[in-house]
Amino acid sequence: MSEPVVIRSGVELPARREEIELHTSDGLTLVGELSLPLDREPVATIVALHPLPTAGGFMDSHIIRKAAARLPALADLAVLRFNFRGVSSPRGTSDGQFGDGVEEEHDLAAAMAFVAERGLPHPWIVGWSFGTEVALKFGLEQPIDGAILLSPPLHRTTPDEVAAWAASDKKLIALIPELDDFLRPTEAEEKFSSVPEIDLVRVEGGRHLWVGETQTARVLNEIVERLNPAAAPLPTTWNG
């Protein structure tokens, strides 16, 4: 019998992976990937929105890449990740140019249309940094179960856009790193006070970029606890 594989940074577990294209209402083609459990149907779906393109964010930003590499196998989740407009990765380059968190409304809508077309179950938006701005500004318009915000900076989201989530039946979870560069827990509690239902998670020792296996595992476990709690906590080894 082979030795168990320790799940660390570069490990990619088995999944059905498909290169996809998304088509926006303003005529752009975005490149992405859909990852599904290898031999069964997913129980829920992650629509991953990556960090700021002008700061190097793309569909391979490490938390998003690791979610796609691990969660189909470990938690029966579908993971849809893609490059926002004008963004390049080894998968390719999406049409268009950076829309400063405004034009990306069309990109999110295209991703959600793809989810509906494929019949993917229980979609959740998982946004990281800039991706949280797009999620907060435009996620309420989409048929999602909820949104998970990783390191939300709240640079582009207005107080009214945040407060609108209070009147929604969509769940809102925010993971706030203790040592974040932009928004730390105490300030986050104030900024999100208009949404009393929010599940605001303080992450001790956490940083904006979630570097290191300890922080990666914390983020992925928090996601799985919401989307498929039966699969939490995630194992640290893989026996195939």
pLDDT higher than threshold 60 for residue 187: yes
DSSP per residue, the chain: -PPPEE--TT-----EEEEEEEE-TTS-EEEEEEEE-SSS--SEEEEEE-S-GGGT--TT-HHHHHHHHHHHHHH-EEEEEEPPTT-EETTEE-SS---TTTTHHHHHHHHHHHHHHHT-SSEEEEEETHHHHHHHHHGGGS--SEEEEES---SS--HHHHHGGGG-SSEEEEEEETT-SS--HHHHHHHTTT-TT-EEEEETT--TT--SHHHHHHHHHHHHHHH-GGGPSPPSEE--
Distance from chain centroid for Cα 197: 20
Looking at residue 151, its pLDDT comes to: 98
Structure tokens at 237: 């080894």
Cα gap 198→31, rounded to integer Å: 32
Going by their DSSP bridges, the two strands 88-89 and 92-93 should be labelled as antiparallel
Over residues 216-232, mean pLDDT: 98
| Cα distance between the two ends of the chain | 11
pLDDT band at 98 (very low <50, low <70, confident <90, very high): very high
Distance from chain centroid for Cα 111: 12
Could you give the domains of the chain? 5-155+209-238 (3.40.50.1820)
Looking at residue 240, its pLDDT comes to: 79
Looking at residue 110, its pLDDT comes to: 99
Residue 63, Ramachandran bin (φ over 0: left; ψ between -120 and 50: alpha; else beta): alpha
Looking at residue 68, its pLDDT comes to: 98
Over residues 80-91, mean pLDDT: 98
Cα gap 222→224, rounded to integer Å: 6
pLDDT higher than threshold 80 for residue 31: yes
Looking at residue 237, its pLDDT comes to: 97
pLDDT tens sequence across 121-155? 999 999 999 999 999 999 999 999 999 999 999 99
